[in-house]
Amino acid sequence: MPARDSPRAAAGAEPIHPRPEGRRTGCLFGSIARVKTSASLEKDTGEESETDGGPRLVVAVDGPSGAGKSSTSRGVAIALGLRYLDTGSMYRALTWWLLDRGVDTTDSERVARLAAEPVIEVSTDPRAPWTRVDGTDVSEAIRSREVTAAVSAVAAVPQVRAHLITMQREIIAGAPRIVAEGRDIGTVVAPDAQVKVFLTAEGAARASRRAAEASWSTRVDQDRRDRLDAAQSGKAADAVEIDSTGLGLDEVVGIIVGLVPQALQKSR
């Protein structure tokens, strides 16, 4: 993809689109689970954070499935020397645990009762993200078709959301500089985030990306997820919307990184 000047945007402005010529096709509070994070980010990565000693910074990245939230958020975290939280992995971990025990994930009452059982651990190192349940690494297992098909029902259970959101807030509060991605990040989980991004893309592009990640994923699967997750996919009023359809990963990362200095200036 040829190099282009990075587009600029302000909160509340029109969504960022590529130019036409470029369009190619520790135990935390809460009873649901105990979540541990990786040790010092600097120790994990062997690098000194560019923001050490600086002001608090939370970058919230929301958006639908297949928009590129995870790869983009990890890229931003690495570029700025921040921690990284994939909130979706926590819902997936609980879903995997329930399915592994033969629980009907559409039985919301039973899901709510059993959700306190597993010990969920997540890494906040963007260079080495992982997810564990009861000491077992499930980083790959939670991306299966079965988990993907069931996670929306689990995430919709109010008790599950309340407890996991509490934990996510604890993790964010314990990491002065972090990129958090998922759904409802800028509106519910971290409404005071200094930078809020709503990352989206055209449906065909999102389906293509999901298929590249998981050979079983189809446009039908994606549309179903969109419908089921609609209630938790709101865009914050002050979020910058970025359409990543015709943009490369480095370009999207660059746009978000470019939003940080102005946001930090405003927060002083």
Tell me the per-residue pLDDT of 71-92, one tens digit each, with 9 for 90 and over: 999 999 999 999 999 999 999 9
Q: Which of 43-47, 115-119, 163-167, 191-195 has the lowest mean pLDDT?
A: 43-47
CB proximity list for 67: less than 8 A, separation 6 or greater: 199, 200, 201, 206, 244
pLDDT tens, position by position, 125-135: 999 999 999 99
For residue 16, what is the DSSP state? B
Integer Cα distance of 227 and 202 in angstroms:
15
Whose CA is closest to 251, among 178, 191, 201, 182? Answer: 201
pLDDT at position 44:
40
Q: What share of the chain is helix, strand, coil (3-state, %, to 5)?
A: 45, 15, 40
CA atoms 34, 170, 156, 230: torsion sign: negative
Winning range, highest mean pLDDT, from 20-34, 59-73, 94-108: 94-108
pLDDT tens, position by position, 4-50: 333 334 334 434 433 333 332 233 322 234 445 544 444 443 333 44
pLDDT at position 163:
85
H or E, element range at 75: helix 69-80
Pairing of strands 83-86, 177-182: parallel
pLDDT at position 196:
97
CB proximity list for 78: less than 8 A, separation 6 or greater: 126, 127
- Single pTM value for the model: 0.75
With bands split at pLDDT 50, 70 and 90, how would you rate the model's confidence at 225? low
Mean pLDDT of the chain: 78
pLDDT at position 219:
58
Using DSSP's 3-state secondary structure scheme, residue 4 falls into coil
Mean of pLDDT values over 178-206: 89
pLDDT at position 233:
60
Mean of pLDDT values over 254-262: 95
Written as one letter, the residue type at 36 is: K
Using DSSP's 3-state secondary structure scheme, residue 137 falls into strand
pLDDT at position 216:
53
Q: Which of 27-41, 112-126, 254-268 has the lowest mean pLDDT?
A: 27-41
Integer Cα distance of 203 and 178 in angstroms:
29
Place of tokens 């994930």: 105
pLDDT tens, position by position, 235-248: 889 999 998 888 88
13 or 194: whose pLDDT is higher?
194
